[in-house]
């Protein structure tokens, strides 16, 4: 196909499909989307500083090295930025070509968890690398693998997406193995996130709305029946419904989290001045790091942080709307939706809006594996953004 890469062979904009999937001619890729990249870097910098403040008391108590977690997080953040930029240079077609291999890898890793998995805080969700202290959650890899496979399915079936055989069945066949394995390892929150991501991507891909409504109802019902029959995490629900009724046991963590948030007031107690981090609040530098941030930066700081996340998410969806083809658009939609869900769920947990789910706050919670995976996901978005002609971005931003 000849002609301008932004137009068809006739020099005219395609009338029916502004988003394309046919083989593209060779062309010089543009720069990464700098606003999106800078927003991520800003969040990473704030996150690393917050880890230093939130972790130094427990690090000193546990290993007599107050900067232990901070140094490790700083290294992972630097490596993550490098990985982000490397992935951003990979052609988007590679993600499409190797999507099935990543899916198979994620399935095998999830399959290994019940047999050789590592138990942390009573949950067996991690795998370790022999001979090292390195651990990771296969569920995080599975989320990314599912998003890439869904983007591939949606791009391959754009013209028949409203049919059950191409708009519903492939999605169900892809998610059921992951969901079953996650439920077996009592990681219901990850399974629920995957189901929601599936719904979002099916909707964005054009799946018929009645099918989506029916599947959503079936999914909610299935999770409800499972929780009722198994009694899974009953203590979490008890602690959530009335944490002060048992504030020395099941309600301890959420009570301390609420104390931290309430102590911050309007402007906070100041950077590094948190009192709840002195071994009162469990997971203060991990899942509950937002509570420490609220205590030190106050309501104003918390709102500004959430605004930063909101702008990042909005920019992600903006890039999805202007992606060069539907595969790239669906990739960004899935990854951005995953980021949004994790932020919403983490904030909801620490404020006791929903029961504890074990969802970390992106770019903030301590954890090298999660940070590297998030960086790779951002790199994928940046890779797609490089195929959006710069002139098209500038025209769209002026509207």
Task: Give dist(CA 248, CA 230) in Å, integer.
Answer: 25
- Give the pLDDT band (50/70/90) at residue 231: low
Residue with tokens 């009724």: 245
Average pLDDT estimate for 337-345? 96
Q: How many CB atoms lie within 10 A of CB 169?
A: 12
Question: What pLDDT is stored for residue 391 in this prediction?
Answer: 56
pLDDT of residue 390: 61
Task: Of 75-89, 206-220, 252-266, give the lowest mean pLDDT range.
Answer: 206-220
Q: CA-to-CA distance for 289 and 51, rounded, in angstroms? A: 8
Mean pLDDT of 325-331: 94
From CA 343, how far away is CA 284, in angstroms rounded? 16
Whether residue 21 is predicted with pLDDT greater than 80 in this model: the reply is no
pTM: 0.88
| Distance in angstroms between the alpha carbons of the first and the last residue of the chain | 30
Task: Provide the mean pLDDT of the chain.
Answer: 86
Burial group, residue 96, by CB count within 10 angstroms (0-12, 13-18, 19+): buried
More confident site: 268 or 114: 268
Q: How many Cβ atoms from other residues are within 10 Å of residue 232's Cβ?
A: 13
| pLDDT value for 9 | 41
Q: From CA 372, how far away is CA 82, in angstroms rounded?
A: 10
Q: What is the pLDDT of residue 15?
A: 40
Counting Cα atoms < 13 Å in the Cβ hemisphere of 8 gives: 11
Residue 341 pLDDT more than 60? yes
Q: How confident is the model at residue 19 (pLDDT cuts 50, 70, 90)?
A: very low
Are 387 and 323 within 8 A, CB to CB?
A: yes
Q: CA-CA distances (angstroms) from residue 158 to 21, 55, 95, 334?
A: 10, 48, 18, 16
pLDDT for residue 45 is more than 60: yes
Q: Note the pLDDT of residue 228.
A: 65
Q: How many residues does the chain have?
A: 399
Q: For the ranges 83-97, 146-160, 242-256, 323-337, which has the lowest average pLDDT? A: 242-256
**122-142 pLDDT tens trace:** 778 888 877 777 788 899 999
Q: What is the mean pLDDT of residues 326-332?
A: 95
Question: What is the predicted pLDDT for the residue at 3?
Answer: 43
Whether residue 351 contacts residue 31, with contact meaning beta carbons closer than 8 Å, is answered with no
pLDDT tens-place string over residues 242-297: 888 888 887 899 999 999 999 999 999 999 999 999 999 999 999 999 999 999 99
In degrees rounded to 5, what are phi and psi of residue 123?
-115, 130
Q: How many CB atoms are located within 10 Å of the residue 215 CB? A: 18
Residue 163 burial (10 A CB sphere; 0-12, 13-18, 19+)? middle
How far is the C-alpha of 327 from the C-alpha of 343, rounded, in Å? 25
What is the pLDDT at residue 396? 56
Q: What is the mean pLDDT of residues 376-384?
A: 97
With CA atoms as reference, report the closest residue to 105 among 132, 151, 136, 80: 136
Tokens matching residue 221: 């019902």
Residue 327: CA atoms inside 13 Å, Cβ hemisphere, count? Answer: 23
Q: In this predicted structure, which of 294-303, 346-355, 376-385 has the lowest mean pLDDT?
A: 346-355
Residues 130-176 have pLDDT tens digits of 777 778 889 999 999 999 999 999 898 888 888 887 778 888 899 99
């Amino acid at each position: 196909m000849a002609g301008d890469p932004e137009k068809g062979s006739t020099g005219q904009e395609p009338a029916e499909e502004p988003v394309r999937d046919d083989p593209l001619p060779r062309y010089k890729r543009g720069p990464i989307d700098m606003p999106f990249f800078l927003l991520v870097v800003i969040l990473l910098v704030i996150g690393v500083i917050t880890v230093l403040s939130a972790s130094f008391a427990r690090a000193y108590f546990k290993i007599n090295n107050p900067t232990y977690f901070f140094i490790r997080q700083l290294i992972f953040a630097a490596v993550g930025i490098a990985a982000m930029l490397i992935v951003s240079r990979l052609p988007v077609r590679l993600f499409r070509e190797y999507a099935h291999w990543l899916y198979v890898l994620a399935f095998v890793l999830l399959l290994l968890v019940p047999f050789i998995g590592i138990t942390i805080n009573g949950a067996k969700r991690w795998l370790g690398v022999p001979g090292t202290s390195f651990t990771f959650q296969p569920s995080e890899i599975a989320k990314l693998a599912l998003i890439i496979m869904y983007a591939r399915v949606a791009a391959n079936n754009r013209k028949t997406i409203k049919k059950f055989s191409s708009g519903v069945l492939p999605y169900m066949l892809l998610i059921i193995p992951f969901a079953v394995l996650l439920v077996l390892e009592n990681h219901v929150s990850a399974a629920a996130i995957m189901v929601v991501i599936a719904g979002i991507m099916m909707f964005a891909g054009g799946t018929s709305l009645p099918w989506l409504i029916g599947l959503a109802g079936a999914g909610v019902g299935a999770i409800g029946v499972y929780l009722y029959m198994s009694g899974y995490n009953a203590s979490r629900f008890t602690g959530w419904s009335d944490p002060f009724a048992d504030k020395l046991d099941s309600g301890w963590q959420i009570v301390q989290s609420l104390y931290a948030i309430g102590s911050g007031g309007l402007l906070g107690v100041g950077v590094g001045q948190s009192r709840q981090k002195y071994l009162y609040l469990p997971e203060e530098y991990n899942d509950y790091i937002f509570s420490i941030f609220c205590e030190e930066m106050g309501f104003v700081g918390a709102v500004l942080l959430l605004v930063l996340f909101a702008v990042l998410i909005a920019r992600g969806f903006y890039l999805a709307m202007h992606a060069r083809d539907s595969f790239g658009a669906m990739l960004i939609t899935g990854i951005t939706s995953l980021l949004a869900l994790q932020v919403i769920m983490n904030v909801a947990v620490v404020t006791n809006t929903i029961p504890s789910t074990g969802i970390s706050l992106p770019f903030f919670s301590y954890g090298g594996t999660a940070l590297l995976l998030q960086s790779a996901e951002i790199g994928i978005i940046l890779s797609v953004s490089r195929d959006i002609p710069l002139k098209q971005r500038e025209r769209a931003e002026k509207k």
